[in-house]
Amino acid sequence: MVGLAISGGGIRSAIFSLGVMQRLARNGWMEKIDYLSTVSGGGYIGSSLTWFLHHKSSEKDGDTEFGLTTDDFPFGTHRVGKINPDSNEAEKGGGQDKAKILQALRQNGKYLTPGNGITIFSLLGVFLRGTFLSIIVYFPLLVLFFLVLYEIYFLRPANEYPAFMEHFTTLKIPALGIAEPLNLSLVFAVALVLLSILGAMFYAFHTYYPVVYKKRRYVGRRLFDRLSGKIIISLIVLVALGVLPFIYDWLYALKNSDNTAIYAAASSMVLGFMTSLAAFRTSSSLKERQKNRRSPALKKVLLSVLTLTTVIFLIYGIFLLAYSYSYKLISSSGMELWSIYIVWVLIALFTGRYVNINYVSVHRYYRDRLMETFMPNVDEILKNGHHDSEGATQADRLKLSDVCRRESSGPYHIINTNVVLVESPNKKFRGRGGDNFILSPLYCGSNATGWSRTRHFMNNEMTLPTAMAISGAAANPDAGIGGEGPTRNRALSLLMSLLNIRLGYWAPHPDPEIHRRENGENGKVKLKKLNPLYGFRPNFFHPMLTSTAFGTFVKKIRSSLSWNQKAGSYLGKTEKSHFVELTDGGHFENLGLYELIRRKLKTIIVCDAGADPGFDFTDLANAIEKIRVDFGVVIKLDINPLVPGNSDPKNGLRCADCGFITAKVLYPDNSVGKLIYIKTTFTEGMYADLVYYKKQNPLFPDQPTSDQFFDEKQFEAYRGLGNFIAKKLTAKYTLTEQGDIEPAA
């Protein structure tokens, strides 16, 4: 069995791998590949291939139109495709149909803003829509939180809160001689500190007793260790709430107007938003723009400080704004503000319950633009040579379970995603931040969550375009490349979640037994309610709100009040949650190698087009480590030939010895496989246009993944690079019918 893995890396990976596949098809390798495993950007071109292989032209009586040979590969097999649609001089493997498809791809390298009314402002509008809806839902609930705190104190006699409005939740205790109102939040904070000191002193004196109390002493130490962190967090929250009234009073005194606090809160939110953008920019430079490698540790520290600053500004801005609004409600003499607020709460409850969050986030925009570029209406492309202005209506509802049929040509496609498990009770999943979750024509799931037949998963509503977009959902809370990055910060993730800044996708748990186990004998009734086709879709309350720190808090309260320690286990981001969040497969493993190793394939070809200007091979190292730990498989390879060394005397550019290497794969059953690892690297003898492009763009071929707007020259540079390296590969080796790699004759 032979597998082809295409790595993440956005459109850069898609186009580089396109060049590789064109050459492999020309030399007869593609038709011998049994499995196609794609991640993120690799899924763009991998899903495109699956789409074209699946498509049956309405003009040819249902016969399969495309294949994997030189004659019928959908993208053509020559580097030079015919651009003139009227040309009659197309070579074998580069015919008119293939040239038109390749031309359509080339013209849509800026897939996020393709034109025809869809511009950068369209993307901005979608982003603002999701954030606006989140504010509509969550802000009145935060105001309600402050109103509840007010109301708790209003239950007391009227003479006990003369200065209440100025001091938030306050208290006077005349019996103790305290005539001035106290801030309850700060009082609780001080009380908590005093109790902590008493507890520490009690434990300290307890150490005097003999060693017979050693076991009890250990239990006490463990209890103190567990409580210490919770006490500190509680102190921070209480103090943060307690100082809100003083900040409000101070801002009010500046202009003698309660609008000052509102303006300041709004400014704080804007500043926090701008700081958030700066944090993402810094994160990008850490991962992809490592030209200055003198102090990466310092950069990480600065990024952490920047992220913390972002969180402080945003949270305090939102809280201060909610506090100011609640103050206006309480102090208003009429019912006008209260009427507006009540209507707002009703709208929030309705919106939060009945709006599908998968459709109002940036995910859907991202998914549709990818589909229109890589899965166009085939008949329209072949007829006119360009995309249909109506979009990609043919692929929109193509179910994942309908592709890669046994009777069809082409490899079995495995689309790799990551299921977010940052609160998993399993330390391995929690430490990694998730597990590899596959979306494939037959099965969907992961080791952590279990598996489901694709026809049963989501009631067979998972489509090929949606799976492709999920696999490329790079920007998402609680997830980062290889399980690392600033978006793994829980505070920042909370803000991203509440503001609906995400590319990921909420899907029902693949194992229906989860719902039955949670609800005992009547589990089937609950499962029916959770089924998307029965009206329960992922919304702003569940799983959006229940997956955040709020859900974690509620889960801990439920488990502490119940004899059942698993009470509330469906809350948070765990493998037992009713809904699971699926994100970029690169958040677990960015090469697509993991699932091919699991299947113990004899030969595996990997196209690694992730941005790696420093040649750190981070994605490769991450994959090798996870494969060794999870499967006991050892991969032996030498990466030195891939690293640019001496300059080419012909053009003065630093070049690597080769663009690919081979390695041994040692399986636990003592069988040995072969790995061919292809890397985006510059080598000697490159095409002249690539040399020129490299001189004009020094970062090529490792331009940042944030650049998702390819023009024609950039498109052709990466396609040409992939074609050139694969040409050298197929000239040196031959792939036999049995799946063996042998030296070329």
Query: Cβ(36)–Cβ(4) under 8 Å?
Result: yes
The CB density around residue 396, as the number of other CB atoms within 10 Å, is 17
Query: Cβ(478)–Cβ(537) under 8 Å?
Result: no
Q: Name the burial class of residue 86, with classes exposed (0-12), middle (13-18) and buried (19+) by CB atoms within 10 angstroms of its CB.
A: exposed
Supply the pLDDT for residue 278.
53
Which of 166, 12, 7 has the alpha carbon at shortest distance from 717?
A: 12
d(CA 347, CA 341): 10
d(CA 571, CA 548): 9
SS3 for 437-487 is: EEECCCEEEECCCEEEECCCHHHHCCEHHHHHHHHCCCCCCCCCHHHCCHH
Which of 428, 426, 445, 429 has the alpha carbon at shortest distance from 437?
A: 445
Q: How far apart are the first and last CA of the chain?
A: 22
Supply the pLDDT for residue 285.
44
d(CA 455, CA 396): 17
Joined together, the tokens standing for residue 569 give 């286990």
675-710: string of b/e by CB count within 10 Å (b at 16+)?
Answer: bbbbbbbbbeebeeebbebbeeeeebbbbbbbebeb
Supply the pLDDT for residue 588.
95
d(CA 33, CA 1): 7
Query: Cβ(30)–Cβ(24) under 8 Å?
Result: yes
d(CA 555, CA 546): 9
Joined together, the tokens standing for residue 551 give 């859900």
Query: Cβ(59)–Cβ(50) under 8 Å?
Result: no
Supply the pLDDT for residue 94.
52
Low-confidence spans in the chain with pLDDT less than 50: 57-59, 61-62, 81-93, 154-180, 279-295, 520-535, 563
> Domain residues of the chain, as ranges?
1-108+376-745, 141-358
